């Protein structure tokens, strides 16, 4: 073999090994999401967008756990654009955010988008600092439960619902019968309990904050704001629900300064979801098309008059 050919083969081998090493380094250097090369302190930027449900809670918490275990990440920015959603999933995210702060000692900074209301505000409460745009919609501290009653429709159609039950409240919330006075008291007690949990979360995370004369000194002060109404970011700041006015870029700069990072900070973000639908997605039932074909009608019926759901959600 000629020396020139041997040199070319050797050079190609070195290039391939170099590219392989760079790929391995990139994976190890960025296990938690997308970002650039380099070492030092990092900031994770985690979007929380849309109505909060069990699927969202599972996805958001997966990243919160990853960021908690990554020692290079010193702060997490939650970019919240959500009207809230189901009570339990909101509480699941809230607990993981609190764990990230209390156990993993990460700084938690919130940046509100268009809306961070009800459950969207609930998950922001443990944050060290909350940023909002002057016209971001926030607040809506409260609980709502609603469904549709089909009783008169069944009577019109000459249909009759038959129920066997083991206790007075087993079918409370059934769409085929009217609520009794005891049913109403029972549901109201549940809602009041969940409401108290929300108020407590706000007070625990925000106590003492607010402009002079508007500080959240006790839960009674929180309850004055917790009648379900929403506030702009500017009014929320006045009342202690928000710390600073600014957009996402302001939040990133603040967080970098808080960590002592000079220059452009390294941002770690979840990888973007792959667009489009492959044949494998269709076969495995992972596409939105399959969801439309198999899940939408039962879900619509359930939302209309099925299982009673309790929500921290701005309607």
For residue range 275-305, list pLDDT tens digits in order. Answer: 555 555 555 555 544 444 444 444 445 555 5
Question: Max alpha carbon distance in the chain (Å)?
Answer: 96
Report d(CA 252, CA 67) in Å as an integer.
17
Domains, the chain: 31-313 (3.90.226.10)
Report d(CA 265, CA 281) in Å as an integer.
36
Contacts (Cβ under 8 Å, ≥6 apart) of 95: none
Please say if 98 is a catalytic residue: no
Q: What pLDDT does 292 receive?
A: 42
Is residue 106 within 8 A of residue 74, CB to CB? The reply is yes
Q: Which of 23, 135, 165, 170 is the catalytic position?
A: 170
How far does the chain reach from its first CA to its final CA, in angstroms? Answer: 76
Q: Which of 118, 136, 140, 174 is the catalytic position?
A: 118
Q: What pLDDT does 65 receive?
A: 97
Report d(CA 29, CA 4) in Å as an integer.
37
Closest to 203 (Cα-Cα) out of 246, 251, 239: 239
Q: What string of H, E and C letters represents the secondary structure of 26-53?
A: HHHHCCCCECCCCCCCEEEEEEEECCEC
Q: What pLDDT does 262 receive?
A: 87
Q: Which two tokens stand for residue 26?
A: 């990139």
Q: What pLDDT does 107 receive?
A: 97
Say how many C-beta atoms besides its own lie within 10 A of residue 61's C-beta.
18
Please say if 82 is a catalytic residue: no
Q: What pLDDT does 26 receive?
A: 46
Q: What pLDDT does 307 receive?
A: 73
Q: What is the pTM of this model?
A: 0.80
Which letter does DSSP use for residue 306 in this model? S
Contacts (Cβ under 8 Å, ≥6 apart) of 203: 216, 218, 219, 222
Q: What pLDDT does 285 receive?
A: 52
Give me the residues of the chain with pLDDT under 50, please. 24-38, 288-300
Residue 86: HSE in the Cβ half-sphere, 13 Å Cα cutoff: 14
């Amino acid at each position: 073999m000629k020396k020139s050919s041997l040199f070319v083969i050797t050079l190609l081998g070195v290039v391939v090994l170099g590219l392989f090493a760079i790929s391995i380094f990139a994976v190890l250097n960025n296990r938690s999401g997308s970002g650039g090369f380099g070492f030092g302190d990092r900031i994770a930027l985690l979007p929380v967008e849309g109505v909060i449900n069990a699927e969202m809670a599972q996805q958001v918490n997966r990243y919160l756990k990853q960021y908690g275990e990554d020692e290079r990440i010193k702060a997490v920015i939650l970019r919240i654009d959500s009207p809230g959603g189901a009570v339990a999933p909101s509480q699941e995210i809230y607990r993981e955010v609190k764990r990230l702060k209390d156990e993993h000692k990460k700084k938690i900074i919130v940046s509100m988008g268009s809306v961070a209301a009800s459950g969207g505000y609930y998950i922001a409460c443990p944050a060290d600092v909350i940023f909002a745009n002057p016209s971001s919609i926030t607040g809506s501290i409260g609980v709502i439960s609603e469904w549709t009653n089909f009783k008169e429709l069944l009577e019109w159609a000459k249909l009759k619902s038959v129920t066997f039950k083991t206790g007075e409240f087993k079918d409370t919330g059934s769409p085929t019968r009217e609520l009794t006075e005891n049913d109403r008291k029972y549901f109201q007690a549940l809602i009041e309990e969940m409401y108290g949990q929300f108020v407590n979360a706000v007070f625990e995370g925000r106590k003492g904050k607010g402009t002079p004369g508007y500080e959240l000194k006790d839960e009674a002060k929180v309850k004055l704001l917790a009648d379900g109404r929403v506030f702009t970011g500017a009014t929320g700041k006045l009342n202690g629900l928000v710390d600073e006015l600014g957009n996402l870029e302001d939040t990133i700069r603040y967080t970098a300064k808080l960590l002592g990072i000079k220059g452009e900070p390294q941002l770690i973000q979840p990888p973007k979801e792959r667009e489009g639908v492959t044949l494998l997605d269709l076969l495995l039932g992972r596409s939105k098309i399959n969801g439309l074909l198999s899940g939408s009608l039962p879900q619509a019926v359930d939302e209309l008059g099925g299982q009673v759901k309790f929500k921290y959600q701005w309607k």
